[in-house]
Amino acid sequence: MRYIEPTRVKVLMMMFFVTGILGIIIGLSPISPPSMTMMITFMGVINIGLGAFFTFLYLTQIKSDPDKRKKKRKTD
């Protein structure tokens, strides 16, 4: 998989975790309509899973070295 900047991955992680937690809380509370509680909770669990996936990417990715073929040589 391609290298993704750590700040971008952190933002995605936080976004998915926060929306997942909010989805589970709203889905299990009496705020949501009775016909949608299971769907909202399920979507919250999916968001938690996506947050876990981006956490895995953040923790395991290795920074790629710049391509040496494209580097310009300095002329003295």
The Cα 35–Cα 25 span in angstroms is 16
Contact assessment for residue 14 and residue 50, using Cβ atoms and an 8 Å cutoff: no
pLDDT value at residue 6: 86
Query: pLDDT digits over 18-75, tens only?
Result: 999 999 999 999 888 888 999 999 999 999 999 999 999 999 988 777 667 766 666 7
User: Is pTM beyond 0.85 here?
Assistant: no
User: Residue 13 CB: number of other CB atoms within 10 A?
Assistant: 19
